[in-house]
Amino acid sequence: MPRYAILSDIHGNLEALNEVLAKCRGLEIDQYISLGDVVGYNANPSECLGIVRALPLAASVKGNHDAYASADSEINGFNNNAKIAIQWTSDQLSADDRNWLGAQPYRAQISSQGVTVVHATLDTPDNWGYIFDAHHAADNFSYQWTALCFCGHSHVPVAFCKKPITSGSERSIDSIPEWICNMNDPSKNDDFLSQDSLEVSYKNGYKYLFNVGSIGQPRNGDPRASFAVLDTDAKTVTRYRLPYDIESVQKKILAAGLPERLARRLEAGC
């Protein structure tokens, strides 16, 4: 059975993407899943898109930055820095690049593996909502017909498990705390930050929702590039965090005339 690397929110960060793909080669990944937002924010959108398009993709969906960069439409829900980056990004892409991005679906399935993928949420994927807690996860599970679902969009890794049967006061949906760092109490993150991988086993009969975090612009206080690997034989999902050359990416952002804030936030992972 193949092993899948799940990539999300690359956002034109070539240095981070190259580190992730080097790790994937070492892990002997068979196929890749792209959760969208290959472009936006950072200074190498065309290069990153070319790399992703050349991968053996088992599934690919579009993100909101992909959608806006590939179409001449009004940009909604973005702050000014993001709008500037989208307009600049669109100018860097070829017509073929824009057509490819625009043709990607909002949702996709790998039915043989019981996997659904989406950039934002399954209920209204083109509204670009976010999943941060069990309440949002419950809405997503209502539209999830497979055992596993992978999403991105928030740049903040979270994971949830839905039990097949509940009784009494037992919660039907629980978060998976080992998947995330504690943003409310950073003092509890020493062990978390010392690791470069976090493995979660999944059980038959349960449903799981994983946000794999961002490769190109993490926002969970950990600036390392984040991605996941699905091993269908071992029934595990493992999230990896990799350091990369942030300074080089920052220099490229500034040289391109993109907003300074986009460069500064990379080193803080926020």
Residue for token pair 């991968």: 55
Average pLDDT in the chain? 92
- Homologous superfamily of domain range 3-268: Metallo-dependent phosphatases (3.60.21.10)
Say which residues have a Cβ less than 8 Å from residue 180's Cβ, sequence separation at least 6: 156, 157, 158, 159, 220
Q: Is the pLDDT of residue 165 over 90?
A: no
pLDDT, residue 270, reads 86
Half-sphere CA count of 255, side-chain side, radius 13 A: 8
Band (pLDDT 50/70/90 cuts) for residue 72 is: confident
pLDDT, residue 182, reads 55
Picking from 107, 110, 111, 133, the residue whose alpha carbon sits closest to that of residue 121 is 107
Band (pLDDT 50/70/90 cuts) for residue 181 is: low
Q: What is the pTM of this model?
A: 0.93
CB 159 within 8 A of CB 131: no
Q: Is the pLDDT of residue 190 over 60?
A: no
Please write the tens of the pLDDT for every residue from 12-63.
999 999 999 999 999 999 999 999 999 999 999 999 999 999 999 999 999 9
CA distances from 7 to 17, 55, 110, 161, 212 (A): 9, 11, 15, 21, 8
For 221, the token pair is 């206080």
Domain ranges for the chain, please list them: 3-268
Report which of residues 256 and 182 the model is more confident about: 256
